[in-house]
Chains A and B, each alone.
Chain A
């Protein structure tokens, strides 16, 4: 079993038999954002699961995505719960909607991923720069030899639709 990962006071455990996450985070360490795609209908899904939620096919393969997307929603944590985040407040958690497979196979579906909005040096982005509609891209934060966290940074691209922040 790989060594547990220590990050911000947390112990992240991804054992060899973690059939959902083991390869996902190993691929992330290679700075690849890979999702599972159904071998029958081709649709991707996140998080990594064992059957296609649309056709129940068991077979899947890893498929790389571009890592670009739009902030679909966000929150600003002012009162941290986890001790390792106490010195980081306020920090932004973003729900990113990836560019691939938007509104597919139904208008309500999308590939959405949770991460922090960070600067290129992986410190947390300033709160005033966080807003729904802003464009982002994935940035891999190396945390251990076998583990990286997919985070998101702002891009220069024009916003997608209405930009709004509280």
Chain B
């Protein structure tokens, strides 16, 4: 077990509205999310002296966000990256505090992912010249995330007999969860038939296998367990973290097979080893759902089922609210909105607090998961986030109440 297990906490969370047209700058969005997280923790601007953010040349950096809120920084870093960054930066925040560089770190992601810089390579990114490693794939019409990942998904279907209908259950489950989430961009429940009858984007991905490009900002605040006890919310303890663990040949991961294997294969021993638990001990998962397949691939790679049985696992009902181990109770990237992973950590923090922001009156949870109802998991004690950047790159985070 890690000597840092349970010594750091997430004490504050905050997010803006999820929209497809914020009509605001990423600076404005970030300031709102960071401020909300600080207030959620019951802290003041002067209590926060560290800042981490991640972006892909599409956002506002910490030197502009911190001073807007009157925060003087003892440590900050603007990191390149998208998915899998949240969990990795939680680990870096712990390290920065452990090293004595700062005391409390705000981690944010701010993006106009629909209205300004679209992830798929359209919009502002479409006109860029093709050079360097991109020459190995972009000239062949392979540029978007879906196009980048589809070879992995298709090979998984070949290797293990995984079906479109099986992975469609990921979207179905997350849509049920989103229907109980007032913040969610898509609150309509969908069926397996809705998913497999939606138009093809890139086989094997249908439209409804793909997440929602979204405008939003999100923030979490990390500090020591000692300081966390004086914060406003029930502390959520960090048991283990693995950050940006990669397969061999991160530049061209198809060179090293099996290509249906994803980075969780290498991350699982790190994160479970730190936490001193096994998959059976986890009550709620947050498996990054850039696509239905990504959730499935990670759940099997981290050992929630046997390798190759992910299709059966995600279609068994286990991952739904009311099931044995619900996944992405907010609706995730497929239904709540696309945040590059932060929102799924926020959701699990709220699960562990017992304070999910559903439609239950006055925080009295009914545990009735019908449409428009509750999405609090009863007695959630341990959660796990499985962060995805691409097939060969991922992160993980285990938390407890």
**Complex interface: chain B residues within 8 A of A166 (CB):** 154, 157, 164, 203-204
**Complex interface: chain A residues within 8 A of B138 (CB):** 10, 82
**Closest-CB distance, B297 to chain A (whole angstroms):** 14
Given A20-B132, A82-B121, A95-B259, 16 new contacts (CB under 8 A): A8-B139, A10-B129, A10-B130, A10-B138, A47-B136, A75-B204, A77-B202, A79-B200, A81-B147, A82-B141, A112-B254, A115-B140, A132-B158, A149-B140, A166-B157, A166-B164
Q: How large is the interface on A (under 10, 10 to 19, 20 to 34, 35 or more residues)?
A: 35 or more
Interface residues of A in 92-118 (CB under 8 A from B): 93, 95, 108-116
**Complex interface: chain B residues within 8 A of A83 (CB):** 126
**Complex interface: chain B residues within 8 A of A108 (CB):** 256-258
Contact (Cβ within 8 A) A12 B249: no
**Complex interface: chain A residues within 8 A of B130 (CB):** 10-13
How many chain B residues touch the partner (CB < 8 A)? 44
Is B201 an interface residue, CB under 8 A from the partner? Answer: yes
In the complex, which residue of chain B has the Cβ closest to the Cβ of A107?
B257
Contact (Cβ within 8 A) B157 A93: no
In the assembled complex, 14 residue pairs joining A and B whose CB atoms fall closer than 8 Å, in A order, are A8-B139, A10-B138, A13-B131, A53-B249, A72-B254, A75-B150, A78-B201, A90-B203, A91-B141, A93-B137, A149-B139, A149-B140, A166-B157, A166-B164
Is A14 an interface residue, CB under 8 A from the partner? Answer: yes
**Complex interface: chain A residues within 8 A of B133 (CB):** 20, 47
**Closest-CB distance, A147 to chain B (whole angstroms):** 10
**Closest-CB distance, B208 to chain A (whole angstroms):** 13
Contact (Cβ within 8 A) A110 B257: yes
Interface residues of B in 252-275 (CB under 8 A from A): 252, 254-259
Bound CA–CA A116/B131 (angstroms):
18
Bound CA–CA A162/B155 (angstroms):
12
Is A122 an interface residue, CB under 8 A from the partner? Answer: no
Is A4 an interface residue, CB under 8 A from the partner? Answer: yes
**Complex interface: chain B residues within 8 A of A47 (CB):** 133, 136, 251-252
Is B122 an interface residue, CB under 8 A from the partner? Answer: yes
Is B99 an interface residue, CB under 8 A from the partner? Answer: no
Is B135 an interface residue, CB under 8 A from the partner? Answer: yes
Bound CA–CA A109/B255 (angstroms):
6
Bound CA–CA A68/B126 (angstroms):
33
Is A62 an interface residue, CB under 8 A from the partner? Answer: no
**Complex interface: chain B residues within 8 A of A46 (CB):** 252, 255
In the complex, which residue of chain A has the Cβ closest to the Cβ of B251?
A47
Bound CA–CA A21/B249 (angstroms):
17
Is A60 an interface residue, CB under 8 A from the partner? Answer: no
**Closest-CB distance, A106 to chain B (whole angstroms):** 8
Interface residues of B in 150-171 (CB under 8 A from A): 150-152, 154-155, 157-158, 164
In the complex, which residue of chain B has the Cβ closest to the Cβ of A117?
B140
Contact (Cβ within 8 A) B129 A109: no
* With known contacts A47-B251, A75-B150, A111-B255, A14–B143 Cβ distance under 8 A: no
Bound CA–CA A111/B137 (angstroms):
15
Give 10 closest A-B pairs by Cβ, nearest first: A75-B150, A78-B200, A76-B203, A73-B155, A73-B151, A13-B131, A11-B129, A85-B141, A79-B201, A108-B257
